[in-house]
Chain A
């Protein structure tokens, strides 16, 4: 797994499914960001293959995904079959409290 630096605003897509994400916030350092068991790639690159069966838990459009201490937060901008992982650990959906609509 290749390790890369992540920064807010960065975008990635899955090499093995339709998933696309945007980085909302990220800690300093280098990490292996993967989806469906394969390194995520630049939004303009093209990938091949299919998600690892053990990492096909689905990623949902509009959900925010975080690591355990919520230092990393990704927004899924396009859904897909693969599971998002950071250094091999699956990311979880961030449970956001819903605000009343104010505009």
Chain B
């Protein structure tokens, strides 16, 4: 193979790269955006949450060790199991996986960084602040008590007064937004910043899993964001979405929650499986068996997991045939899961020299054992009659801990031991690691295996104590002892971490002899040059690659734009398309995250005015941040390899900005589909009381027709400007006028929609129908609000000479969101005004 840059490189290029990618020092460290720095912070904080939620678990196990125990009271116990579950799912598992994505993905793809480093920084700081404040509520008797799934009616104001539930709803809702921001970064990163030659068929399995993980977040999280919005609206303003007496239905919450909640299990498991698929071939010293089948399994699981949510609701009275549809899907998903397990076993068996028994290997084997058992009990609870017997018992607690700790925590510890040398000057101790593994493995099985029996003997979940004479004491005592052994394993890991983990470079390069790109020599700028990839294990197939990359013989061995940059490649074949210029460290994402967190958290305690001020400040910082983006084509065309010249600017459908906006529109679309489902669900479950019976008729058709005409007019105006931007851009007044006119159309359309419903006398607090109608208006309104901010920003960019027919990314983003808003709102008008007329 001819090298992309065969000639010797000039002196000074590496020093220039080091200067450009240098990590800020001292208190400016919080402004860092390098994926290795913020990824480590992200992972560290996620692990802190794991430890804190683990301590809660130990306290709960101590309380349950014997019957009739009075160590802690019922109220505190309720807060503890809620915070334990919520923290493990929302503040540990998903963030830890996003953190690994941020940390490892650019290294595995040999990209200098992910395409939106400041977005990652924003997401991480928002999560850190929001998560810590949420967790601290346990110390002030302010923690929620409704379980990690917060079912109404228990969580409605009548049964959960005070601010406790609001901390969950606003705090977690906000952290979900942070997770979505991370997901956008990962989707665009995995598809567009792969090294040249790394077509989809050569992508590391971890990159596949992160791509599917992030796509699942895009479609799953909006459902629970909508649900939390609805529950908070009911609690704060009395919009009765979940109150049966007013046409609402508590089961609506369960549908929305589990439409998120079940994929969430796979959102956690898939990246962990990806990590295992990276570790096993290295330790078995042979390529992964069944790469293609594993990709099929990952995509299959990603899809099928969205068809399983009702299996959490088998006992809610849903018709048997509906249950059977979801039971079938629940069993179907076992097939791709099994494919992966067999592929790993086959890879281990295929290794001619056997599996190297490192600590990472032990954790992988532990994962295989525990997760397989959890999968088998999963098939058991997928069967409706069996689920009826064990629903809400400790059997289910045992099952999901086998799946989650086996399927996620064990691979995570394997990851710590396997990838630590990439970020630390010293590897973690193999000797201590083996102790950590055995303590955790024995402790885990001792803690959770007996729970199957405890559950089969009838012990329900979420009880703070139980009568001593029921025969559950011994099993519970064993579980408690096991949990402390597990805890001892984690404690020993912390000792290992303190003794050996030292952030920095200088350790052994590629200590395991792995074949993937993250083990290339790298520094703050990632690899010296971006390799041309010709196989799935490039380091095995081309032993000279590390040296070639280090000597700058591959792509982009320097920094021709004088700033941070990486190569953007085509999504399928990974052919170089252009060079993306990326922003460096800065205060705006950090401050925007702090004030966004403050806004949400202050709303929780009803400090509306200060919260609003914080929200406005956050938006201002976001605008300051966005002002520095879209650098324009001033750097021209640069040479990235011999005979390969790439532009340094791109707009339109090829650009990463366009891609991020489209991903965001998918997220918004998912949320709106969840809304449509909710609207129709309330009609389906109680058509006899659903409006218009008892409610005013919808407004006359003049209102929606006028609103719709305005929307179409606005869309037409924006389309025309887009087509004629070259001519229109010459006039500052004209651009401002037409963009303001398009905004006026939107605002007027929204006003007509609100006024139309108000004139009928319908109010959101009247009944669930009214609440749903006005929720549609709220969803319309929030998009309009976003455009009202983006419109003047676009005009300001044009006035400042930062927007023209070529440098048009800001306008394109406005245009995309505008057209999306129009499409969603027209659909909404059709639903809200058409459906009541249709059913008469």
Do the two chains belong together in a single complex? no
Residues of B within 8 A of A (CB): none
